[in-house]
Structures are given as structure tokens and as C-alpha cells.
Amino acid sequence: QKEVEQNSGPLSVPEGAIASLNCTYSDRGSQSFFWYRQYSGKSPELIMFIYSNGDKEDGRFTAQLNKASQYVSLLIRDSQPSDSATYLCAVTGGGSNYKLTFGKGTLLTVNP
Amino acid sequence: EAGVTQFPSHSVIEKGQTVTLRCDPISGHDNLYWYRRVMGKEIKFLLHFVKESKQDESGMPNNRFLAERTGGTYSTLKVQPAELEDSGVYFCASSQDLDPFGYTFGSGTRLTVV
């Protein structure tokens, strides 16, 4: 069983729509959850992190965490073409607060 | 503030050759991490330095990989001899504190072994 799974994509949405990215994880001891954005050929860039159950909003981004279901998601409202990138879900836990376990990523394309 | 710098950005080598990747972390960052993404797979942790000491090398795939961090500054990752399955993108990251929130990743080195 894969440790972190993301919807495989690619995901395509029209400009202005809501993009929904999903992630499940297998380790119930996972403590921190991160969403990174990676443009082609560039470094992963942290855009959201969440530690507690519920929603966390930052501008157009909302991260949602449900530890009972071992599920974390990222919603991007009013999607823009500049949001087109690969989104990586990552978690820490199991005794380590520094070692990230990543999913494979979901490629998002926002069409003008 | 300069970011994490990695070079070369691309390297193509033949199977059996040696390659050395370099990472320059953000100045003052004691923590340095190496990750790798093999094609079609997820990014995976390789190892973690605190200053010049290896704290966790549990992700190193085998003894063909040797990582060093001279004087707690830049780090090198040597692959000797390289195999086809070593192809991928090698990322370096650094942080001041021991918390992924503070991670800054480099752009990576794309290694192709032919």
C-alpha cells in the first residue's frame, strides 16, 4: 500500500472554477500535512500546511484535513492559468517531524 | 536572500561512471536534506545533515551513494558507479529549524544514466 496517494490526474479546469485536489495517507501517526506546488523544471514550493482537523484558508487556497478518514485536500478557488502546475501532497509523522513523505503529485491545468 | 543552489542542473553520464552533485544551502541553515524523484515515482527522502553530521541516512538506496557536507556548508552527493536506475531528479533542501515548514528546495539536478 502506497503511503501517500493523490488523485492521479491530470486535472483540467476552466479559469475561474474551483480546482479540488485530494490526498490520502496510510500512516495514522502522520502529524503534519503539506501542499507543495511545482512548476515544470522548478523547485517544489510550499503553499499550504495544516496540522489540525478542519479547514485552513489562505487567500484562494483552502486545505482540509480529516484525520479519521486519513484524508487531506486542497481547494483552489477562482483558478488562474498561473495555477497550472503539479501539486504535491506531503506528510510527516511516525516519529519524524522533518522527513517528508510525498505523493506522486497531480498535474493541474487551468484553461483560459 | 539567495536560495538553495544545485548544480549541475542536468547531467548525462554512462553507466559505470561517477557523478557528483552539489548543493549550496541557504547561508546559516544548519539542516540540509537530499531527496530524489525517480521517473514515475514520488519524491523520496534520502538523507539529512545537521551541520556536517549525518543525522538520518535511512533513505540512501545503497552504498554506491555517498553524501558529504564539508564544514557544515555545501553538500555533495556522489554516485559511484552509476546505474541506469539512478536516473532521476535529485533535490536538495535546507532549513534553519527542524520543521518542514522552513524547507526551501533547490531546483534539482536531473541525472540521466545511459
Q: Which of B1-5, B35-39, B96-100 has the lowest mean pLDDT?
A: B96-100
Q: Residue A58: its chain B contacts at CB < 8 A?
A: none
Give the model's pLDDT for residue A95. Answer: 66
The predicted pLDDT at position B27 comes to 92
Beta strands A106-111 and A11-14, pairing class: parallel
Residue A87, min C-alpha distance to chain B (Å):
12
Strands A30-38 and A45-50: antiparallel
Query: What whole-number distance in Å separates Cα of residue A4 and Cα of residue A21?
Result: 13
Return d(Cα B109, Cα B10) in angstroms, integer. Answer: 5
Residue A106 contacts residue A76 (beta carbons within 8 Å): no
- Show the cell assigned to A74: 486542497
> Mean pLDDT over all residues of chain B?
94
Nearest CA of chain A to the CA of B70: how many Å?
A: 22
When CB atoms are compared, the residue of A42, A49, A92 closest to B107 is A42
Quick: pLDDT tens for A63-101: 999 999 999 999 999 999 999 999 999 998 766 778 899
Residue B95 has pLDDT above 60, yes or no: yes
SS3 B64: coil
Q: State whether residue B35 sits within 8 Å of chain A by CB.
A: yes
Percent of chain B past pLDDT 90, that is, above it, reads: 87
Between positions 44 and 83 of A, the ones with CB within 8 A of B are: 44-46, 49
Q: Is B49 on the interface with A (CB under 8 A)?
A: no
Which among A42, A30, A40, A48 is positioned nearest to A95, based on CA atoms?
A30
- Which among A4, A90, A98 has the least Cβ separation from residue B98? A98
Q: Is the pLDDT of residue A1 over 70?
A: no
CB contact under 8 A, B4 and A43: yes
Query: What is the Cα–Cα distance from B26 to B44, expressed in whole angstroms?
Result: 21
Give tens-digit pLDDT for A12-53.
Answer: 999 999 999 999 999 888 889 999 999 998 999 999 999 999
Contact between B100 and A97 using a beta-carbon 8 Å cutoff: yes
